[in-house]
Amino acid sequence: MKRGIVILSSALIALILSGCMAAMGLDTPERQRGDGTHRVFPGTADEVRACVRAAFGMMSPDFSVSDQGDHVEAVRNVNGAVLHYKAFLSPGPAAGETDVEMLCAMFSRTKEDDIKKCERRFLSSIANTVELAHLRMASAPAVGSKATEDPKTTSRGSDVDELPAGKARTNHRSYAIVIGIENYHQKLPKANFAAHDARTMTEYLTSVLGYPEENVVTLLNENATNVALAKYFERWMPNNIENGGSVFVYYSGHGAPNPKTGDAYLVPYDGDPSFIDETGYSLKRMYTALGKLPVKEIVVALDSCFSGAGGRSVLAEGARPLVMNLQQPIASSKNMTILTASSGEQISSTYQDKGHGLFTYFMLKGIKNEDVVKKDGTLDITALFGYIKPQVSSIARKKYNNEQTPQLIVPKKN
């Protein structure tokens, strides 16, 4: 009798302990923080929750995503096997932080190592989405800001700033990096309207061409540093882009040449033309990174110039302008198309009356008014260029007494 009571008491104690451990989240190894299934993100629970949902959508369009209160659940049916992915949200260790625990419920035969990889992969995707949300917030103009703006370079709005009606179907395999640098850390001339160019381009991509917002990185001014460009071209894109997708890259800002090598460089926010090798981001480096992506199409649009002769280009003090060969870095590319605002010896102008770069204005106007958007949301680049080139050349010559001839560099055929 006593022995039975002891056994029953032991069982009750074990049951109670088991319940307490479950309540505290200590009943399974997956709940332990040291195994990589947890990560703390900056932001309130609602902010992070929105990013979690966006990350699920980015990882797979086949997910059925629902909010279950304490967690966000994504369900996916693969050949009749239903997979469950759950992201549990709880307060982080400090105020304004949220802890996310990722659990991948996969096939029963799935190895534990593969499940851990799945969980870490989703956490990385959530981290990227949270970072993009913060970048968008940082680049957005402050509400009620009273900062004094230069009336000569402040956009007053134009016809292309009003988005066209209609939207292409969402293409979850379309990705873009959009860069606009108007003000520089060094004492460089302003690249007038460059930030507005980039903001408007992002709106066209997401609201007109069907790019998912979470697939578009927009870097403005101080967010577009040398490190940031390297990070997104060389790490974010390879980590996120799916096979067979498409990539669009847009840059509005200063370019610069290396007088010694003749290489062309984007000038980041912290770039210095006198040390362009160390502080710039070369077109050759960018094209190399893009060329490694397993995609079917890459389009690069550059509203910049690289001769150092003026306009949207800068030059180290004491150096002379160069005639650049902009085609050389992509001679071997098979899937990359480049649109440039001008040829290698020319300068790229701004369109003062419209509040945009001259090239960007007519690019947006072409997308809005000309029949250059295909049914799948992709651009007919040849038709778009056919519209841009004569418009830009005409306005540059008549209004600014300047020769500016946009260039189209197409993939080399074997």
Q: Where are the domains of the chain?
A: 28-137, 165-409
The 8-class DSSP code of residue 29 comes to G
**Gap between the Cα atoms of 129 and 184, Å rounded:** 27
What the block records as the tokens of 344 is 């290698």
Unique residue bearing structure tokens 């001769």 = 307
Phi, psi of 41 (to 5 degrees): -115, 145
Count other Cβ atoms within 10 Å, centred on residue 25.
Answer: 15
Residue with tokens 């995503």: 65
Highest CATH level, class, for 165-409: alpha beta
Looking at every residue in the chain, the average pLDDT score rounds to: 81
Using DSSP bridges, classify how beta strands 81-91 and 297-303 pair: parallel, antiparallel or unpaired.
Answer: unpaired
The reported pLDDT for the residue numbered 152 is 47
Q: Which of the pair, 19 or 295, is modelled with greater confidence?
A: 295
pLDDT in tens, 221-255: 999 999 999 999 999 999 999 888 899 999 999 99
Enclosing H/E stretch for 101:
strand 97-105
Answer yes or no: are the C-beta atoms of 386 and 393 closer than 8 Å: no
Helix axes 45-59, 112-139, angle to 10 degrees: 120
pLDDT exceeds cutoff 80 at 164: yes
pLDDT band at 69 (very low <50, low <70, confident <90, very high): confident
Q: What is the pLDDT of residue 74?
A: 87
End-to-end CA distance of the chain: 90
C-alpha to C-alpha distance for 287 and 289, rounded to whole angstroms: 5
For the residues 126-142, what does the mean pLDDT come to?
A: 64
Q: Are 44 and 98 contacting, i.e. CB atoms less than 8 angstroms apart?
A: yes
On whether the 28-137 domain is CATH 3.40.50.960, my answer is no
Task: Enter the tokens of residue 354.
Answer: 């419209």
398/254 Cα distance (integer angstroms): 24
> pTM for the full model?
0.67
Q: Which residue would you say has higher pLDDT here, 58 or 161? A: 161
Planar angle of CA 303, 377, 366, nearest 5 degrees? 45
Chain CA centroid to CA 134, Å = 12
Q: How far is CA 413 from the centre of its chain?
A: 29
Percent of the chain, pLDDT > 90?
Answer: 42
Give the burial class of 292: count Cβ atoms within 10 A of its Cβ; 0-12 exposed, 13-18 middle, 19 or more buried: exposed
> What values do phi and psi take at 22, rounded to 5?
-65, -40
Q: What is the DSSP letter of 141?
A: P
